Amino acid sequence: EAGVTQFPSHSVIEKGQTVTLRCDPISGHDNLYWYRRVMGKEIKFLLHFVKESKQDESGMPNNRFLAERTGGTYSTLKVQPAELEDSGVYFCASSPRTSGRASQETQYFGPGTRLLVL
């Protein structure tokens, strides 16, 4: 079974440009998450989809970030316009349909997209 995949693996853009990150979750996983790790900091939660619906977007830093999950399969995270502080590693994770306690769901992570804004 294929794991969570992310594209691109690396992206270098200039301040003010737009970048779109893509995540393909494990097939059949209804839950999809985005996280970000800024250099020197811990991995931080950005948002959570259940199928195509945003369940929790409390971690989104500002309105320059837009996440979508049309059709409840893959997801995109767009940063527009990108700022220097957006540099970091963006991780996507997925988990199966909830069958029990939400806090015990195992989240499977992708390899991340390394974004550098110059």
Partner 1 sequence: QKEVEQNSGPLSVPEGAIASLNCTYSDRGSQSFFWYRQYSGKSPELIMSIYSNGDKEDGRFTAQLNKASQYVSLLIRDSQPSDSATYLCAVPNSGYALNFGKGTSLLVTP
Rule CB under 8 A: which residues touch partner 1? 3-4, 31, 33, 35, 41-45, 48, 55-56, 58-59, 91, 95, 101-112
Task: Name the one residue in this structure whose structure tokens are 């969570």.
Answer: 4
Q: Strand 113-117 vs strand 88-95: parallel, antiparallel, or unpaired?
A: antiparallel
State in angstroms the smallest separation of the CB of 78 from partner 1.
21
C-beta of 70 vs 103, nearer to partner 1: 103
State in angstroms the smallest separation of the CB of 48 from partner 1.
5
| 35 in Cβ contact with 90 (< 8 Å) | yes
DSSP letter for 98, please: -
C-beta of 63 vs 106, nearer to partner 1: 106
| 69 in Cβ contact with 49 (< 8 Å) | yes
